[in-house]
Amino acid sequence: MSVISVKRVERDYPLGKTTVHALRGVDLEIPEGSFFSIIGPSGSGKTTLLNIIGCIDNPTAGTVSIDGEETTKLNDKQITDLRLHKLGFIFQNFNLIPVLNVWENVEFPLLLMKTHRKKEIKARVEKLIAAVGLEQHAHHKPAELSGGQRQRVAIARALVTNPKIILADEPTANLDSETSHSILKLMRDLNETEKTTFVFSTHDPDVLKYAKSIVQIKDGKLVHAEEEVI
Amino acid sequence: MPLVLKIAWRNIWRHKGKCLVIGLILFLGAFFMTVGNSIISGMNAGLTENIVNSFTGDIVIISDEQDHNNVLLDMMSGKPLKVIRNYEAVEQVMDDALVHAFLPATAGVVMGLEPGAEMITYMLLGVNIERYQQMFPGNFRVTEGRVFNSGERGILIPELVRTASYEFLDYWFVPQGESLVVENLMEDAFAYKHSLELRSDLVFMGSSHSGSFFDVQVPVTGIIEYRALNKIWGNYAIVDIESFREAHNYVTGADSAIEVSEDRLDLLALNAFDELFDFDDLLADTVVEGDSFNFEELQQAFVREDSPLDLDAGSFNLVFVKLAEGVSQKDGLAHLNQVFSDNNLNVRAVSWQDSVGLIGSMAVMVKAALNIFVMCIFFVAIIIIMNTLSMAALERVTEIGMMRAIGARKGFLKTMFLCETGMLSFFFGGLGIAAGVTLVYFLRAANITTENEILQLVYGGNSFHPILTATDFLIGVTELGIVTVLSVLYPLRVVGKIVPLDAVARD
Ligand SMILES: Nc1ncnc2c1ncn2[C@@H]1O[C@H](COP(=O)(O)OP(=O)(O)OP(=O)(O)O)[C@@H](O)[C@H]1O
Ligand SMILES: [Mg+2]
């Protein structure tokens, strides 16, 4: 059964007197445990599609289901909780809370969940900060980090709640290839051990080596049906 | 520290500039609110002390026939106050749990009789001096002479009236049996101290409701100065009640001894006029009702006797009432008026504010102005803080949208915002209140006094004594809370409208 189900999704942006058709009828089924990559040129609609899957944006037409639940029908609180418990986000413009340090940023979603014990929180945060290689910077504020380091914090934060699905918009765009690989490896491990579903958009051919399935988008339409790479 | 508080606290430090602006406004708002409130309280306490406790009591009872309520300081109408017809019945209901003390009195404007000179009017308060001093102890001090004794004829002239008399009539009041106190002379008169015309009595004329006039001569026994609000209250000379009654042809205590009614006194007046002007027909038209009375006997009654009179047996035109501790003026008024109408007493209770007319309403206006000032501070503070906070919210759209995107509920972010404002309000508002309290403390210590009538109303007396009670303090804190909540409402709406998409929206 697919954990993400996108049906005939369209997204129009009004732009002055014209309309931009960012998505023009996208159908997509992503099975649980996928390591799924969306590729396409700039402006093709990758970010728009990920936003709609992540309930950050609403489709103009069509439906999206996450884990069997039709998200277009949920209210704001339900959507927020769905995002907190089932989804993890890594934004293209890595987005951290400026007043919190690395540790606190990673810890943040766990504290919002209010379901974990202190010890458990500490163990998880520690593990993820180590995984993204930021032990030395745990007490630095985002402003004191490089772009790549911030992106790694964002990744750790997305992974910390152990969500069912992680949506990542060009997660490695700002990383050197070494860090890229270590992070992608981390994601793959999680994907294999925890059955976490990963959906990411990318330009990076290196990243594609890790992908299990790839779909191509162009002008708001899927070009290929997904194909197994491995 | 809870997560929200931690973030809120750090956000304050991150946005120091804006927070300082908001903090400064909160500081000033709380400061002025505290000072303003304590001025209002001081004014209230001062007016209570200086008017309620010294001049009028909480409530004044007047005849229902009286067309207006400002019976004490209305110098324009010139009409004498209506007599309370059934004072004895009124006195009986004054034995009431809500009434602490009461004093029947007469008040009115009389004309000084000065052959060949201009007319001058005097405002007189006719009282049983013994009861008056029990009711309003220490509200004046005698600067020359003495207070007349109970049952004795006499008038106490306030300094203000003495000065006015000198300015208009060129004579200087000196109490009977006393000599001129040169130090007390006003500057103008000082130069003429050897040729000054001195006066030790006052001849004045009152009018009855039937239009007849009666003149009375009263010795000046003392010169007085009221403890406070001299410029306002100092127009009132205090006269023995019997002289007042005679001048107005009211039933006097002496009349009561031989049981004569108001109607008959008017008749008696007619008779006297008749003899003077030979109006035979007028007398002929007058129908005498009830028991016939002996005119000789009545006339004898006008001759003062040595035996003590019951001063409370004659007519009154008002009753000053002090309410029992803890009884509000509103409750007291409602209760007394109910009792009066239940017993068909044809009198009504009015507030002291109404009884002093313009002054009362000016006190209300000054208070309203102060209140409006405090409200304005409120309003301006709310607008500025609201604006600054809304801008702050809009500046942080990406950050807040991202927090929403990774699972923070609207409530969390609103709480965060509220905490930020709350902390600022607590700190800067608290500082403002503290500064206000300090200023009030110094103002009290400075003991500022004034001669200006309007300022006396603001001060509630001669000296400026703002008061900060525990209640005021609580009100200040509450007002600060209200300002905080009101000014954060709109910004919270702005925060509530931020959606996760704002986190990824391009510029
Ligand atoms: N808020 C918006 N208003 C108007 N047009 C928009 C908006 N967001 C996206 N678009 C348009 O929709 C189309 C798809 O944009 P999208 O950001 O999804 O592309 P993308 O594939 O993520 O590109 P990139 O690789 O550069 O990130 C573009 O033509 C873009 O201009
Ligand atoms: Mg994009």
Closest ligand to residue B505's CA:
1
Q: How far is A7 from chain B (nearest CA, A)?
A: 21
Give the distance, in angstroms, between the CA of residue B28 and the centroid of all CA atoms in the same chain.
31
**Does residue A23 have its Cβ closer than 6 Å to ligand 1?**
no
Is any Cβ of chain B less than 8 angstroms from the Cβ of A77? Answer: yes
Q: What pLDDT digit, counting tens, does each position of B306-343 carry? A: 445 566 677 888 999 999 998 999 999 999 999 999 99
| Cβ-nearest to B503 among A77, A95, A109 | A95
> Among residues B158, B175, B163, which one has the least CA distance to residue B220?
B175
User: Is B75 a residue whose pLDDT tops 60?
Assistant: no
> How many whole angstroms separate alpha carbon B61 and alpha carbon B106?
11
> How many whole angstroms separate alpha carbon B163 and alpha carbon B237?
13
Q: How far is A97 from chain B (nearest CA, A)?
A: 6
Closest ligand to residue A24's CA:
1
Least confident range of A176-180, B48-52, B256-260, B415-419 = B256-260
Q: How far is B26 from chain A (nearest CA, A)?
A: 24
Is any Cβ of chain A less than 8 angstroms from the Cβ of B496? Answer: no
**Does residue A167 have its Cβ closer than 6 Å to ligand 1?**
no
Nearest CA to ligand 1 atom 27: A42
Q: How far is B400 from chain A (nearest CA, A)?
A: 9
The ipTM, to two decimals, is: 0.88
Q: What pLDDT digit, counting tens, does each position of B235-287 carry? A: 899 999 999 988 888 877 777 766 655 655 655 555 444 444 444 444 444 44
Query: What's the confidence (pLDDT) of residue B294?
Result: 53
Q: What pLDDT digit, counting tens, does each position of B17-37 carry? A: 889 988 998 899 889 888 888
Cβ within 8 Å of B, A 154-183: 157-158, 161, 169
Q: Please give the C-alpha separations between residue A186 and each of A198, A210, A229, B309, in angstroms, as whole numbers.
A: 12, 11, 19, 112
Query: What's the confidence (pLDDT) of residue B507?
Result: 47
**Residue-range domain boundaries for chain A:** 2-226
| Cβ-nearest to B501 among A56, A77, A109 | A56
> How many whole angstroms separate alpha carbon A211 and alpha carbon A144?
32
Q: Would residue B318 be called left, alpha or beta, if left means φ above 0 and alpha means ψ between -120 and 50 degrees?
A: beta
Q: Would residue A211 be called left, alpha or beta, if left means φ above 0 and alpha means ψ between -120 and 50 degrees?
A: beta
Is any Cβ of chain A less than 8 angstroms from the Cβ of B409? Answer: yes
Structure tokens at A58: 């609403």
Per DSSP, the residues of B189-202 read HHTTTTTPEEE-EE
> Among residues B471, B204, B403, B284, which one has the least CA distance to residue A80?
B403
Region A189-213: mean pLDDT is 86
**Does the structural domain A2-226 have CATH classification 3.40.50.300?**
yes
| Cβ-nearest to B504 among A56, A80, A81 | A56
Cβ of A95 and B412 within 8 Å?
A: no
Q: What pLDDT digit, counting tens, does each position of A37-67 carry? A: 999 888 899 999 999 999 988 999 999 999 9
User: Which stretches does DSSP call E strand in chain A?
Assistant: 2-15, 18-31, 35-39, 61-66, 69-70, 87-90, 165-169, 197-202, 213-218, 221-222, 227-228
Is any Cβ of chain A less than 8 angstroms from the Cβ of B321? Answer: no
CA angle B91, B92, B93 (to 5 degrees): 95
Contact call for residues B70 and B360 (beta carbons, < 8 A): yes
Q: What pLDDT digit, counting tens, does each position of B189-240 carry? A: 777 777 788 889 998 888 766 667 788 999 999 999 988 888 778 889 999 9
| Cβ-nearest to A83 among B3, B407, B504 | B407
Is any Cβ of chain B less than 8 angstroms from the Cβ of A109? Answer: yes
> How many whole angstroms separate alpha carbon B468 and alpha carbon B465?
10
Region B166-181: mean pLDDT is 87
Query: What's the confidence (pLDDT) of residue B490?
Result: 92
Q: Please give the C-alpha separations between residue B100 and each of A45, B96, B318, B335, in angstroms, as whole numbers.
A: 85, 8, 17, 14
**Does residue A22 have its Cβ closer than 6 Å to ligand 1?**
yes
Cβ of B405 and A108 within 8 Å?
A: no
Going from the Cα of A58 to the center of ligand 2, the distance in angstroms, rounded, reads 16
Closest ligand to residue A43's CA:
1
Q: Please give the C-alpha separations between residue B216 and each of A71, B410, B439, in angstroms, as whole numbers.
A: 99, 84, 54
Ordered alpha helix ranges (H), B396-469? 397-405, 410-424, 430-446, 453-459
Report the mean per-residue pLDDT for chain B: 82
Kindly give, in sequence order, each residue whose CB lies less than 8 Å from that of residue A31, ignoring residues fewer than 6 positions away: A1, A2, A3, A197
Cβ of A84 and B500 within 8 Å?
A: no
Going from the Cα of A203 to the center of ligand 2, the distance in angstroms, rounded, reads 10
Going from the Cα of A11 to the center of ligand 2, the distance in angstroms, rounded, reads 15
Give the single-character DSSP code of B117: S
User: Is B173 a residue whose pLDDT tops 70?
Assistant: yes
**Residue-range domain boundaries for chain B:** 2-51+361-506, 65-259+312-345
Query: Pocket of ligand 1, candidates A11, A17, A48, A217: which has the most ligand atoms within 8 Å of its Cβ, to mutate?
Result: A48
Maximal C-alpha separation, chain A:
56
> How many whole angstroms separate alpha carbon B389 and alpha carbon B507?
21
